[in-house]
Amino acid sequence: MKTLLVPTDFSNNSLKALRFAIELAVKNSLKIEVIHQTSVLELAPESTFTGFYVPSPIDQIGYLKSELEKFVNRAINTSASKINKTSISTEIIPGVGTVEIILEAAKKHKAYLIILGSTGASGLKRILIGSVAAKIVELSPIPVIVIPDKYRNKPMKNIGYASDLSHVSSEMEKLIPIADMLGASIEIFHVEPTFPTSEAYKKFNPESNLVDLRMKYKRENITYKLVKTKFDNDFYTGIDKYRRTAKPDLLCMVTHKRNWVDKILDPSKSKGVAYHNEIPVVCFKG
């Protein structure tokens, strides 16, 4: 049975990520591992430091275990699908280095997917911000689904797969199982113009290439769309244009390079790109 890893900081965004995981787990008979990383220097949220008492690590771990159980119960009780609670395991992990701990947990539990929120809580709670999500996307050897702050849970019917058309076949090998889990169609989209025009784009023939892909994967719901922008190499505007016109339920990005990751997940670094806070993004290495 495959495992979904869901890191949480108890924020509303990570609650959305867990609900997303529950829907996926119920549909595909998967297990869920929910983890929370904590530093021994953190205080429990309701504790007041007076100069005379600091909660011991044991006190803190016990408190966080209780909070994690409440968090999981809240997700179960507010999810559209009903899951057997025995399918969900929880773990409090003391230590520093959020990214490293999440990746190590994924390895330990042999996770198939990591599902996490793009933003997190503030104050004394652990903050899971876009830069952390971007780092996990960059380093993770397994696919990562990032759930944005304004996401509202709904069926995943259409995946928009952004491609430079250089490695479509090998990337589809990784995307098809995720699409099957979600019961979603796949639309390959490519942004032009680019300078210099890539050889992959020149060679790509939508009619013949789509026929080959449909035959190879025995599915008819693979389509292609060319997205035109005003300026050369305007990748982010092209994705936003696709998001607004095609209205995909999930975007797929392949991490050949890191330079786009922060812009996708951090709105302060990407002018005019609004989809980051509306549509989940699945990322994996090419």
Could you tell me the pTM of the whole model? 0.85
Burial class (CB in 10 A: 0-12, 13-18, 19+), 86: exposed
Residue 149 is predicted with a pLDDT of: 81
Q: How far is residue 145's CA from residue 13's CA, in Å, rounded to a whole number?
A: 13
Please write the tens of the pLDDT for every residue from 141-192.
999 999 988 888 888 999 999 999 999 999 999 999 999 999 999 999 999 9
User: Which residues fall within 8 angstroms of residue 123, CB to CB, at 6 or more apart?
Assistant: 45
The strand pair at 250-254 and 158-162 is best described as: parallel
Give the number of residues written for the chain: 286
Does the pLDDT of residue 31 top 70, yes or no? yes
Domain 3-147: assigned CATH number: 3.40.50.620
Q: How far is residue 138's CA from residue 134's CA, in Å, rounded to a whole number?
A: 6
Domain 158-284: assigned CATH number: 3.40.50.620
Query: What residues does each domain of the chain span?
Result: 3-147, 158-284
Residue 285 is predicted with a pLDDT of: 85
Percent of the chain's residues with pLDDT above 70 = 81
Q: What value does the mean pLDDT of the chain take? A: 84
Q: How far is residue 212's CA from residue 218's CA, in Å, rounded to a whole number?
A: 10
User: Which residues fall within 8 angstroms of residue 44, CB to CB, at 6 or more apart?
Assistant: 55, 59, 60, 63, 64
Average the pLDDT over 245-272 and give the result: 65
Identical fold, 3-147 and 158-284? yes
